[in-house]
Amino acid sequence: MGAEISGELQKLLEDRKILKIRPDKKLISKEFSGAEYDLARARKSAEIGDYKWATVQAYYAMFHAARALLFSAGYREKSHTALRIALKELFGRSGKISAQELRNFEEAMELREDADYRLDFTASDSTGILEDAAEFLVVAKSILRMK
C-alpha cells in the first residue's frame, strides 16, 4: 500500500494513533462476531425501551465492524477518532464505503457519546442508529466477503 497512503493516514501512523499489523482472519472474524452480537443486543434493548443502551450497543456494532475492516487492511487503531479517520481513508476514498455510510458512522459516534456521557438520547435516535448499524454491517460483511 506504500505509495497509496494518504497524508492523513500517514500522520496517524507517525503519531502512533494507528499501527500496521498483519491481517489475521481469526481476529477479523472475532471482531465481526462482536459486531453482530452488539447489534442483536441493541435490538433487544430497543424492544424493552432501553434507548440509551440500544444507542450505545448499536454504535459498538458499527465500531467492531469497522475494526474488522481496519484489521483486514493491516491496521489497528488506538482511538475511536483514529478508527473513523482510517475508515474514511482506507475504504471511503476507494468508494468501498459510501460517503453516507461514513456520515452514519460519525453520527453514531456522536449519538453514543451523547447517550453515554450526557444521558441525552431518544427513541427516534435509537431507531435510526439501529437501522444505520444494520446497514453498516451488511456493507462491512460484503467488503470482508463473509457469508
* H, E, C per residue of the chain: CHHHCCHHHHHHHHCCCEEECCCCHHHHHHHHHHHHHHHHHHHHHHHCCCHHHHHHHHHHHHHHHHHHHHHHCCEEECCHHHHHHHHHHHHHCCCCCCHHHHHHHHHHHHHHHHHHHCCCCCHHHHHHHHHHHHHHHHHHHHHHCCC
Residue 130 in any domain: the answer is: yes
Domain extent, residue 70, equals 18-144
CATH of the domain at 108: 1.20.120.330
Residue 2 has pLDDT above 80, yes or no: no
Give the number of domains in the chain: 1
Residue 12 in any domain: the answer is: no
Residue 6 has pLDDT above 90, yes or no: no
Per-residue DSSP letter, 93: T
- pTM of the predicted structure, to 2 decimals: 0.93
Q: What is the pLDDT of residue 3?
A: 42
pLDDT 10s digits, 56-99 = 999 999 999 999 999 999 999 999 999 999 999 999 999 999 99
- Average pLDDT score over residue span 110-114: 97
- Average pLDDT score over residue span 8-12: 92
Q: What is the pLDDT of residue 38?
A: 98
Q: What is the dihedral of CA 102, 103, 106, 111, to 10 degrees?
A: -140
% the chain with pLDDT above 70: 97
- Average pLDDT score over residue span 12-24: 95
Residue 9 in any domain: the answer is: no
Q: Cell 443502551 maps to which residue?
A: 53
Confidence of residue 147 (pLDDT cuts 50, 70, 90): low
The radius of gyration of the chain's CA atoms, rounded to the nearest angstrom, is 15
Residue 4 in any domain: the answer is: no
Q: Average pLDDT over the chain, rounded to whole?
A: 94
Residue 2 in any domain: the answer is: no
